[in-house]
Amino acid sequence: MPKKRSGGGLSPMQQAAKFLGVSVLAGAVMAGIALPGAGALGLAAKGSVQSFDEIPDNLKSPQLSQRTTILDSRGQQIASIYSRDRTVVDLKDISPYMQKAIVAIEDSRFYQHGAIDLKGVLRALNKNAQEGGVAQGASTLTQQLVKNYFIEEAGDDPTKVAEATQQTMGRKVRELKYAIQIEEKLGKKKILENYLNITFFGEQAYGVEAASERYFSKHAKDLNLQESALLAGIVQSPSRYDPVNDEAEATKRRNIVLQRMAELGDISPKEADRAKRQPLGLHTSRPKNGCITAVQGAGFFCDYVREVFLTDPVFGKTKEARAKLWNQGGLTIRTTLDPQAQQSVQNSIKDHVYKSDQVATAATIVEPGTGKILAMGQSRPYGFGTDETQINLSVNQHMGGGAGYQPGSTFKPIVAAAALEGGKPATQEYSSPYEMPYPSPVAACNGRTWKNDPRKPAKLTNENETEHGPYSMKEATAKSVNTYYVQLISDIGICPVIDMAKKMGVARSDGRKIDQAPSIALGTQEMSPLTMASAYATFASRGMYCTPVAIESITQTTGSRVKSLPVPKSTCSRAMSEKTADTVSTLLKGVVEDGTGQQAGLGDRPSAGKTGTTDERFAAWFVGYTPNMAGAVWVGDPQHRRRMINITIGGVPHDKVFGGEVPGPIWRDMMNGALEGKPVQDFNLVDIPDDNNPGNGQDRGNGGQHGGTTGNPGQVIGGLLGGLPGGGTGGPNPNPTFTLPGTLIQGQTNGGRNGHGNGGRR
């Protein structure tokens, strides 16, 4: 704002000259002619408009940014999000007191003049010349509406906002011309309606409906006289007249509005005096904005929905276009979130892991055959405080998650699926010794070959020394035998496993390619819970993988128009044959019934799944499914610093954490609640013989190139013969007894040059 001459600013005479220029401009605009003599008034400087006729004829009203509401699958609100807190309403839904108050204080001759009030311009010219500064403006409501259009179009871009509000003659000329167009096109009532919906009332409230809710917790149609006067008075300077922070100044301003309404005959002097004596009567409500408002712990799911919107081309070809649409808001987004499943996830997490624990948990449930994300939660709440986070531990890094976590032995079923799909029988046996070097060489993709370092060959072991084969696939899966699965991937090659993982949507959380090394069979590549839940849903749907989806439908409200927007659809494709999927389900059903996942069992409801615990115990998993739901649970330190040894989780002390011991019960409880009332379905199981013929050479490892140390075939007769030499079951909580050299550890601690990792245990 120009100052008096003492500071080197404009003198009264200069102010008068400037306003004279505005007056001449106003007259020119009224006449709709060019301004060839504008330069004489200093109006053709940089930033001004040289010719009135050069201004585009049509000003498009911007779509006003509004709240976006995110709903669950049943139509219940999850969260309210807005770039600008605004709800557009019709003029009939705005109190008549409010309409009169805003006209009285902002443009009392609104219904008498056109787009430009020449009388007001001359009055302001005289007043400002007397005061030696800009003491009074002359903008009409129509001109203010145009200015607000420019600001709204600028969005949150500070450069564009500055351009929209800069005090230049060029902007003023554009404003005047567009004001004339709007007057002709819309008429007074629509202009007033648009103005009341677009203007800023302070306290993050845009438009009179949001302001009414913010200050008085009521709709704009219910505002009384003194409430209307208060809101109308705020518009001139929302910070100065903020009733929340300066009640006295706001009261003074409200009473000025009431007095002006009485002078104009909108109300009687008695009504004005009575209203002036009333307290402000604030009943403020401060709706929080964003996913932090989400109910049932769905803040991270809400954030995932936002990430989907901002990254999926279905909502706009460019990042900027998608962001603009999101910020405009007015969207009603119906999601796939099932409130029953979400509540069950949160209840289970709360029962088993505290937010203040040294480690965290994240869990996700998806629907097989559709890809719908039914639930997503974690122990550390969405927020900025202590023991809170905004990192979504359930999803990949580019969608707001972390770098992922080694899934351990939960990756083994993917290896099994690749082997079965390639023709290996479920009765396939390998020597599966307790300890062995990684077999070498091993075929990789694109004609490449992985080789162990002969000078210092990397080795691996099983969980305990009593655990050595030979084992068949069924028993090796139930016991989670590491050497069996490394022999299996070495036999079939690395590439079929990577291909199967790709078909099942399995990729590293950080976006890197999966390493081509046999250690991937032990789960050395960092994954997210959503990735693992979606992959296991492939087994549940008998071989059909469906990409995860979070959005069911979107409608956008623009004024009184409501239209539907296209949304991303799940893409389902066959990853494996039904027989392969059914065979894996049979294997994993055994894990829950007789193997390492017994604590995750769902009682009478058939279930299948796999435990996973990394060797250093930085992460523990249980991933499992029924025919109608698949879920993944991860427990660990997101920073990958705290090993889960001698640790208390959820108030329960643990010497060592196992996948079946902590994640397993979380999975059991969340799935029981999510599935309550749902039909009990069974798997399409296949017959996998427990007893193999020792003489059947095609099904047995021979201890050669890929077989490692040859086991004694007489020691195991197929079943879970705990206690016999070479037949220890390991039980639900096996005790790992080995570690690899630090230089060979793969994954979050970085792999050695051979690409090996400590991998996954149970």
Inform me whether the pLDDT recorded for 24 exceeds 60: no
Nearest to 274 by CA among 229, 210, 240: 229
| DSSP code for 379 | S
| Strongest mean pLDDT among 147-161, 285-299, 574-588 | 574-588
- Write phi, then psi, for 106 (nearest 5 degrees): -100, -30
pLDDT tens string 217-246? 999 999 999 999 999 999 999 999 999 999
Could you tell me the pLDDT band of residue 469, with boundaries at 50, 70 and 90? confident
**CATH superfamily assigned to domain 335-404+529-553+568-688:** DD-peptidase/beta-lactamase superfamily (3.40.710.10)
With contact defined as beta carbons under 8 Å apart, do 494 and 445 qualify? yes
H-state helical runs in 247-364: 247-263, 269-276, 299-311, 319-328, 339-352
Q: Domain residues of the chain, as ranges?
A: 86-277, 335-404+529-553+568-688, 408-526
DSSP 624-693: EE-SS-EEEEEEE-TTS---SEEEEETTEEEEE--TTTTHHHHHHHHHHHHHTTSPP---------S---
CA distance 39 to 48: 10
Position 597 scores a pLDDT of 86
Q: Which residues are 619's β-sheet partners?
A: 636
C-beta separation of 147 from 164 below 8 A? yes
Which three-class secondary structure state does DSSP give residue 453?
A: coil
- Dihedral angle computed from the Cα positions of residues 340, 346, 351 and 355, in that order, rounded to the nearest 10 degrees: -170
* Confidence grade of residue 467 (pLDDT, cut at 50, 70, 90): confident
CB 382 within 8 A of CB 389: yes
DSSP string, 467-498: ----EEHHHHHHHT-HHHHHHHHHHH-HHHHH
247 dihedral zone (left: phi>0; alpha: psi -120 to 50; beta): alpha
Q: Which of 3-17, 53-67, 236-250, 517-531 has the lowest mean pLDDT?
A: 3-17
Residue 598 in tokens: 């017994």
State the pLDDT at residue 327. Answer: 86
CATH assignment of 408-526, among 1.10.357.10, 3.40.50.1970, 3.40.50.300, 3.40.710.10: 3.40.710.10
H or E element at residue 305: helix 299-311
Q: Which residues are bridge partners to 630 per DSSP? A: 366, 625
What are the beta bridge partners of residue 549?
372
Torsion of CA 522, 527, 528, 531, to 10 degrees: -90
What's the predicted TM-score (pTM) here?
Answer: 0.76
- How buried is residue 106: exposed, middle or buried, by Cβ count under 10 Å (0-12/13-18/19+)? buried
As a whole number, the mean pLDDT across the chain is 82
Classify strands 652-656 and 645-649 as parallel, antiparallel or unpaired: antiparallel
- Residue 596 in 3-state DSSP? coil
List, for residues 476-523, the tens digit of each pLDDT value: 999 999 999 999 999 999 999 999 999 999 999 999 999 999 999 999
**Topology at the third CATH level for domain 86-277:** Penicillin binding protein transpeptidase fold (1.10.3810)
Whole-number Å distance between alpha carbons of 759 and 756: 8
| Peptide bond connecting 470 to the previous residue in cis, omega within 30 degrees of 0 | yes
pLDDT confidence bin for 132, thresholds 50/70/90? low
Nearest CA-CA partner of 230 in 220, 375, 385, 330 = 220
Distance CA 536, CA 412 (A): 11
Average pLDDT over residues 37-43: 34
What does the pLDDT read at residue 623?
97
Same CATH fold assignment for domains 335-404+529-553+568-688 and 408-526? yes
Reading the block at residue 569, the tokens are 């659809």
Q: pLDDT tier at 663 (50, 70, 90 boundaries)?
A: very high
Question: Are 363 and 666 within 8 A, CB to CB?
Answer: yes
Contact status, residue 514 vs residue 498, Cβ threshold 8 Å:
yes
Nearest 5 degrees, angle CA 490-CA 496-CA 499?
Answer: 140
